[in-house]
Structure 1
Amino acid sequence: MQITRSSLDTAKGPADWFTGDVYIDAVAAAPAPSRVTANLVHFMPGARTHWHRHPLSQTVFVTEGVGLCQRRGGPVEVIRPGDRVLFEAGEEHWHGATPQRLMVHLAINEGDDDHDVVNWLEPVSDDEYAAGPTPEA
């Protein structure tokens, strides 16, 4: 057993990965041979990831608020606490908060020497973001 005391500061999500205010808390980054990392990601209202893909898939588990997600070419979907979203390996997608509500999710990713955890692409345009449903509060 290993206990790691919280010593990392909350990180501001970089502008080349996110639109809006996003904050990241590291949860798990076990040494090799483990391939799993996990982060608690806090999206302020209107904030979202850029389009991206994960070579070995990604699961997000919503813990708070109301969010939106979309795979390239698919509809924008509303996600709420308790919802799990699996983005398949290589599937281009984005996720974030609704315009009126914050959203927090646990992002679980895999990566190894042959696969990056994530490949970042272009920002989600305001028109793409606004095309989603307007969820009830």
Structure 2
Amino acid sequence: MTAPAAHFAGSVSAEELAVPTGDSLLAVYAVTFEAGAHTHWHIHPKAQGLFVIRGVALVHVEGHRPVRLGAGGSVWISAIGTAQALMGR
């Protein structure tokens, strides 16, 4: 599916891999960012883990320096109140 423009700028696609069930609140998406694409600043009501499969991502959490992640890199972002942006390169 093409990611909604309200949440992203540039070419971004997302594939839902796992949906929450009665026993689990875990949702898993494979999200692909074309070069220069990014999220708008936003928050998540629950924590979020990001894992880079290929390419490079720049993750910026409000109040912290941006972190550059290459293939195999990951970051854990705390729940509510944390704003972030992610860019594909």
* TM-score > 0.5, shorter chain as reference: yes
AA at the equivalent of 1:72: E
CA deviation vs aligned residue, 1:65-95 (integer Å, no higher than 9, x gap): 0111101122222111111110111211111
Alignment-derived partner of residue 97 in structure 1: 88
Give the Cα separation in 2 of the matches to 1:34 and 1:76: 31
Unaligned runs of 5+ in 1: 1-10, 99-137
Identity of aligned residues (%): 31
**TM-score, scaled relative to structure 1:** 0.61
- Aligned with 1:79 (options 69, 72, 75): 69
Q: Post-superposition, which runs of at least 4 consecutive aligned residues in structure 1 deviate over 3 A?
A: none
Alignment-derived partner of residue 6 in structure 2: 16
- Aligned with 1:54 (options 44, 48, 70): 44
Aligned-residue CA RMSD in angstroms? 1.1
**TM-score, scaled relative to structure 2:** 0.91
Unaligned runs of 5+ in 2: none
Paired residues in the alignment total: 88
Q: In the TM superposition, what is the alpha-carbon distance from 1:44 to its structure 2 partner?
A: 0.2
Question: SS where residue 53 of structure 2 aligns?
Answer: strand
